[in-house]
Amino acid sequence: MEVMQMVITVLSLFISMCTAITLIYGFGKFLRKPHDTLEERIIVLETKMKETDERLERGNDKFKEQDATNEVLIRSTLALIEFEIQYCLTENKQITNGLSKAKDDLQEYLARR
Per-residue pLDDT reduced to its tens digit, 61-111: 788 888 888 888 888 898 898 898 888 888 888 888 888 888 888 888 888
Tell me the residue length of the chain: 113
Instruction: Say which residues have a Cβ less than 8 Å from residue 20's Cβ, sequence separation at least 6.
Output: none
Identify whether 11 is part of a domain: no
Write out the residue range of the structural domain in which residue 95 sits: 38-113
Identify the DSSP state of 95: P
Candidates 112, 113, 55, 105; CA nearest to 78 is 105
Q: What is the pTM of this model?
A: 0.48
The answer to whether residue 43 sits within a structural domain is yes
Domains of the chain: total = 1
The answer to whether residue 44 is domain-embedded is: yes
